[in-house]
Amino acid sequence: MQYFDGIEPLKFEGQSSTNDLAFRHYDPTEVFMGKTMAEHLRFAVCYWHNFVWEGSDVFGQNSFPRAWNALADSDPMTAAKAKTDAAFELFQVLGVPFYCFHDIDARPEGATFAESDRNLSQIVDYMQGKQEATGMKLLWGTANLFSHPRFMAGAASNPDPEVWAYSAATVASCMDATQQLGGENYVLWGGREGYETLLNTDLSREMDQMGRFFAKVIDYKHKIGFKGTILIEPKPQEPTKHQYDYDVATVYGFLKRYGLENEVRVNIEQGHAILAGHTFEHEIAVAQSLGIFGSIDMNRNDYQSGWDTDQFPNNTPEMALAYYEILKGGGFTTGGTNFDAKLRRQSIDLSDLVMAHAGAMDCCARGIKAAATMLDERPLMDFVDQRYSGWSGDLAAEISADAVSLSDIRGMVAERDINPKPVSGRQEHLENVVNRYV
């Protein structure tokens, strides 16, 4: 190890351990519901927060000393390779199976599109070698279509067709890279697809442009034979005031409108769910019910500040309810648990990066085990089944029949003196039940 020297690969030590650099709950080999914990959770570490971002915020400069970026000004490709070396070291220390990256996280920006493209190919070859040497896999690749000023008015929704073309070209390169690296998914986060003010925006045109863009992405996927899943990542606001991919339900409506609902699924991020005024489990449950659940970006927001603070998860009951909805729907297929999470700015040591992931992995492990036990023992499912049991009865069949009209139902209710009695929803009891598991 060059960068994470002195930090041993993390081991499972069990609940009595007080070692910050070990797992207390994440035992990758533990089997439940027919799979190992590693297969259920499918953890991924992201490039951008860990190896690119160096601790700057809107008020202050970089605070993290990150040795792999030292050469970035003089020899960008050497620095990009050093960053890759550091990334694969951390993956090995954590023992995660997957990682995720944007094009700009991995390659130096060129002076032209063609040069950026060549830089990407070169670094992707290098990453492929690292994958072969370590057994690491790519959960998803993506294009950053939001940081450079050319994207300030959006990518697919930009008023300027040159930006639309540039963005489409970038996605083609990133899909090729993702395919070369055997990626299991390709993510489209809306970035700046949205608007600040209607005073300068043709909302209807922008939506059509995005619909056309996604259709071309799907065509390209089939053209190159990419077998992974295309995922859209909803987010309601930030950076733009109104983002078009507000939440899962909005994304589904959009996909349906442009006939893409069978081709695209969603990558749901906890912090984005919270920004949209939802719980994480709500967003997952909506996606499951619409048949578009794909993957998750795991993090947590600060509940007081209202920003997308991308903190590492540390709340087991929240994780338990999220994984409950995931397991209830059959678990991940191509998706997984990507830590789209970053350190706080004062956590400047490399060991902080390791401890943050270790704690987050443990929190998810604890949550998913609680979820699996709740599914196995069925206290919530039995209650819900009982609550809706009337819908298996005769009355339900009668009133649901197509031939039965509202006036027929009025007749039935009057004749039979149907007079429903309120029944407790037992929310507090059910919350107490969940607390027995977490």
Smallest separation, CB 335 to Co ion (Å) = 13
Question: What length does the chain have?
Answer: 438
**And the tokens for 209?**
């442009």
Confirm or reject binding of residue 340 to Co ion (CB under 5 A): yes
Site residues for ligand XUL, 290-329, by CB under 6 A, read: 297, 308
Confirm or reject binding of residue 247 to Co ion (CB under 5 A): no
Q: Pick one of ligand XUL, Co ion, none as the site partner of residue 117 (Cβ within 5 to 8 A by kind).
A: none
Residue 350: HSE in the Cβ half-sphere, 13 Å Cα cutoff: 20
| Contact criterion met (CB below 8 Å) for 310 and 298 | no
Q: How far apart are CA 140 and CA 182, in angstroms?
A: 9
CB atoms within 10 A of CB 168: 18
Q: Which is nearer to ligand XUL, 233 or 362 (CB)?
A: 233
Confirm or reject binding of residue 233 to ligand XUL (CB under 6 A): yes
Smallest separation, CB 189 to Co ion (Å) = 6
Smallest separation, CB 185 to ligand XUL (Å) = 12
Confirm or reject binding of residue 105 to ligand XUL (CB under 6 A): no
CB atoms within 10 A of CB 136: 20
Q: Which is nearer to ligand XUL, 298 or 372 (CB)?
A: 298
Q: Which is nearer to ligand XUL, 179 or 338 (CB)?
A: 338
Q: Which is nearer to ligand XUL, 103 or 281 (CB)?
A: 103
Q: Which is nearer to Co ion, 174 or 370 (CB)?
A: 174
**And the tokens for 357?**
């992931």
Draw the binding track, 111-150, toward ligand XUL (x: CB under 6 A; -: no contact): -------------------------------x--------
**And the tokens for 171?**
């996605």
Smallest separation, CB 188 to ligand XUL (Å) = 8
Q: How far apart are CA 363 and CA 26, in angstroms?
A: 8
Q: How far apart are CA 365 and CA 370, in angstroms?
A: 9
Q: Which of the following is catalytic: 25, 102, 278, 282?
A: 102
Q: Which is nearer to ligand XUL, 184 or 308 (CB)?
A: 308
Confirm or reject binding of residue 103 to ligand XUL (CB under 6 A): no
DSSP annotation string for 331-376: --SS--EEE-----TT--SHHHHHHHHHHHHHHHHHHHHHHHHHHH
State which residue has the least CB distance to ligand XUL.
189
Confirm or reject binding of residue 189 to ligand XUL (CB under 6 A): yes
Confirm or reject binding of residue 193 to ligand XUL (CB under 6 A): no
Applying CB under 5 A, the span of 104-112, 262-270, 313-321, 354-362 interacting with Co ion comes to 262-270
- What residue has token string 């990066």? 353
Is 242 noted as a catalytic residue in this protein?
A: no
Give the N- to C-terminal CA distance of the chain in Å, as an integer. 37
Q: Which of the following is catalytic: 105, 117, 245, 297?
A: 105
Q: How far apart are CA 300 and CA 316, in angstroms?
A: 12
Confirm or reject binding of residue 247 to ligand XUL (CB under 6 A): no
Report the DSSP pairing between strands 264-269 and 337-339. unpaired
| Contact criterion met (CB below 8 Å) for 125 and 72 | no
Smallest separation, CB 374 to Co ion (Å) = 27
Smallest separation, CB 233 to ligand XUL (Å) = 5
Q: Which is nearer to ligand XUL, 243 or 316 (CB)?
A: 243
Q: For 186, phi and psi rounded to 5 degrees?
A: -130, 125
Q: Which of 245, 247, 269, 362 binds ligand XUL (CB under 6 A)?
A: 269
Is 105 noted as a catalytic residue in this protein?
A: yes
Confirm or reject binding of residue 297 to Co ion (CB under 5 A): yes
Q: Which is nearer to ligand XUL, 69 or 142 (CB)?
A: 142
Confirm or reject binding of residue 283 to ligand XUL (CB under 6 A): no
Q: How far apart are CA 154 and CA 1, in angstroms?
A: 40
Q: How far apart are CA 13 and CA 219, in angstroms?
A: 48
Which residues, other chains included, contact 75 with Cβ-Cβ below 8 Å and sequence gap of 6+? none
Q: How far apart are CA 269 and CA 283, in angstroms?
A: 9
| Contact criterion met (CB below 8 Å) for 164 and 158 | yes
Which residues of this chain interact with Co ion, rule CB under 5 A? 269, 297, 340
Which residues of this chain interact with ligand XUL, rule CB under 6 A? 102, 142, 187, 189, 233, 235, 269, 297, 308, 340
Which residues are catalytically annotated? 102, 105
